Amino acid sequence: MKYIVTSTKSVEQAATDLESAVKKHKFGVLHTLNLRQTLHGKGFELANDCLVFDVCNPQKAKDVLDMDMSMNLALPCRISVYSENQQTYIGMISPKAMLAMLSDSAELATAASEVESTLKTIINEAAH
Protein backbone atom coordinates (compact mmCIF):
# COMPACT_ATOMS: atom_id res chain seq x y z
CA MET A 1 0.00 0.00 0.00
CA LYS A 2 2.95 2.33 0.68
CA TYR A 3 5.85 2.97 -1.66
CA ILE A 4 8.80 4.51 0.18
CA VAL A 5 12.43 4.88 -0.91
CA THR A 6 15.41 6.16 1.01
CA SER A 7 17.67 8.91 -0.20
CA THR A 8 21.12 10.11 0.79
CA LYS A 9 19.99 13.65 -0.06
CA SER A 10 18.80 16.21 2.46
CA VAL A 11 15.06 16.76 2.66
CA GLU A 12 15.52 20.13 0.98
CA GLN A 13 17.51 18.71 -1.95
CA ALA A 14 15.17 15.74 -2.36
CA ALA A 15 12.19 18.15 -2.40
CA THR A 16 13.83 20.32 -5.05
CA ASP A 17 14.66 17.27 -7.15
CA LEU A 18 11.12 15.94 -6.69
CA GLU A 19 9.65 19.16 -8.07
CA SER A 20 11.93 18.90 -11.12
CA ALA A 21 11.02 15.24 -11.71
CA VAL A 22 7.30 16.01 -11.36
CA LYS A 23 7.53 18.65 -14.10
CA LYS A 24 9.69 16.44 -16.31
CA HIS A 25 6.94 13.78 -16.32
CA LYS A 26 4.14 16.24 -17.12
CA PHE A 27 2.70 16.36 -13.62
CA GLY A 28 2.37 19.52 -11.61
CA VAL A 29 2.73 20.42 -7.94
CA LEU A 30 -0.58 21.91 -6.85
CA HIS A 31 0.41 22.59 -3.27
CA THR A 32 3.21 21.88 -0.82
CA LEU A 33 2.43 21.46 2.87
CA ASN A 34 5.29 21.86 5.34
CA LEU A 35 3.95 19.83 8.26
CA ARG A 36 6.78 20.74 10.63
CA GLN A 37 6.23 24.45 10.03
CA THR A 38 2.45 24.16 10.21
CA LEU A 39 2.52 22.28 13.50
CA HIS A 40 5.07 24.74 14.90
CA GLY A 41 2.65 27.54 14.07
CA LYS A 42 -0.01 25.72 16.10
CA GLY A 43 2.29 25.36 19.11
CA PHE A 44 3.45 21.78 18.48
CA GLU A 45 7.02 20.78 17.72
CA LEU A 46 7.69 18.01 15.20
CA ALA A 47 11.19 16.57 15.44
CA ASN A 48 11.41 15.64 11.77
CA ASP A 49 11.08 17.55 8.52
CA CYS A 50 8.02 16.58 6.48
CA LEU A 51 6.95 18.13 3.19
CA VAL A 52 3.79 16.84 1.52
CA PHE A 53 3.34 17.56 -2.19
CA ASP A 54 -0.07 17.39 -3.87
CA VAL A 55 0.74 16.38 -7.44
CA CYS A 56 -1.47 15.92 -10.46
CA ASN A 57 -1.42 15.16 -14.14
CA PRO A 58 -4.41 17.14 -15.44
CA GLN A 59 -5.22 14.74 -18.28
CA LYS A 60 -5.10 11.66 -16.03
CA ALA A 61 -7.20 13.42 -13.39
CA LYS A 62 -9.82 14.37 -15.99
CA ASP A 63 -9.88 10.80 -17.33
CA VAL A 64 -10.42 9.37 -13.84
CA LEU A 65 -13.12 11.93 -12.99
CA ASP A 66 -14.88 11.29 -16.30
CA MET A 67 -15.04 7.60 -15.38
CA ASP A 68 -16.19 8.17 -11.80
CA MET A 69 -16.62 11.64 -10.34
CA SER A 70 -16.53 10.29 -6.78
CA MET A 71 -12.84 9.49 -7.30
CA ASN A 72 -12.22 13.18 -6.54
CA LEU A 73 -12.00 11.93 -2.97
CA ALA A 74 -8.67 10.28 -3.84
CA LEU A 75 -7.22 13.18 -5.85
CA PRO A 76 -4.71 14.71 -6.08
CA CYS A 77 -1.92 12.21 -5.45
CA ARG A 78 0.38 12.95 -2.53
CA ILE A 79 4.12 12.45 -2.31
CA SER A 80 5.92 13.04 0.97
CA VAL A 81 9.55 13.93 1.52
CA TYR A 82 10.50 13.49 5.16
CA SER A 83 13.24 12.67 7.62
CA GLU A 84 13.32 10.09 10.35
CA ASN A 85 16.29 8.87 12.35
CA GLN A 86 18.58 11.14 10.30
CA GLN A 87 17.48 9.48 7.04
CA THR A 88 15.54 11.06 4.17
CA TYR A 89 12.56 9.23 2.68
CA ILE A 90 10.30 9.88 -0.28
CA GLY A 91 7.03 8.01 -0.42
CA MET A 92 3.40 7.78 -1.42
CA ILE A 93 0.32 5.69 -0.92
CA SER A 94 -0.20 3.43 -3.93
CA PRO A 95 -2.78 5.02 -6.26
CA LYS A 96 -3.56 1.56 -7.62
CA ALA A 97 -4.25 0.11 -4.16
CA MET A 98 -6.25 3.17 -3.08
CA LEU A 99 -8.50 3.19 -6.14
CA ALA A 100 -8.95 -0.59 -5.88
CA MET A 101 -10.41 -0.04 -2.40
CA LEU A 102 -12.82 2.55 -3.80
CA SER A 103 -13.87 0.93 -7.08
CA ASP A 104 -13.77 -2.37 -8.93
CA SER A 105 -13.64 -0.64 -12.33
CA ALA A 106 -11.06 -2.16 -14.69
CA GLU A 107 -10.71 1.19 -16.47
CA LEU A 108 -9.91 2.98 -13.20
CA ALA A 109 -7.44 0.24 -12.29
CA THR A 110 -5.63 0.78 -15.59
CA ALA A 111 -5.48 4.55 -15.11
CA ALA A 112 -4.27 4.15 -11.51
CA SER A 113 -1.60 1.68 -12.61
CA GLU A 114 -0.29 4.14 -15.22
CA VAL A 115 -0.20 6.99 -12.70
CA GLU A 116 1.49 4.80 -10.10
CA SER A 117 4.18 3.72 -12.54
CA THR A 118 4.98 7.33 -13.40
CA LEU A 119 4.95 8.42 -9.75
CA LYS A 120 7.37 5.63 -8.83
CA THR A 121 9.69 6.85 -11.59
CA ILE A 122 9.40 10.41 -10.25
CA ILE A 123 10.17 9.29 -6.70
CA ASN A 124 13.14 7.19 -7.80
CA GLU A 125 14.56 10.04 -9.86
CA ALA A 126 14.20 12.45 -6.94
CA ALA A 127 15.77 10.04 -4.48
CA HIS A 128 18.91 9.23 -6.46
In 2-100, DSSP assigns E strands to 2-7, 28-34, 50-56, 77-84, 87-93
Distance CA 108, CA 115 (A): 11
Q: What is the pLDDT of residues 15-31, one digit of tens each?
A: 999 999 999 999 999 99
pTM: 0.94
Q: How many CA atoms lie within 13 A of 94 on its CB side?
A: 11
Cβ-proximal residues to 14 (8 Å cutoff; 6+ apart), any chain: 7, 81, 88, 90, 126, 127
Q: What is the pLDDT of residues 88-103, one digit of tens each?
A: 999 999 999 999 999 9
CATH of the domain at 24: 3.30.310.70
Q: How many domains does the chain have?
A: 1
**Residue 49 sits in which domain range?**
2-127
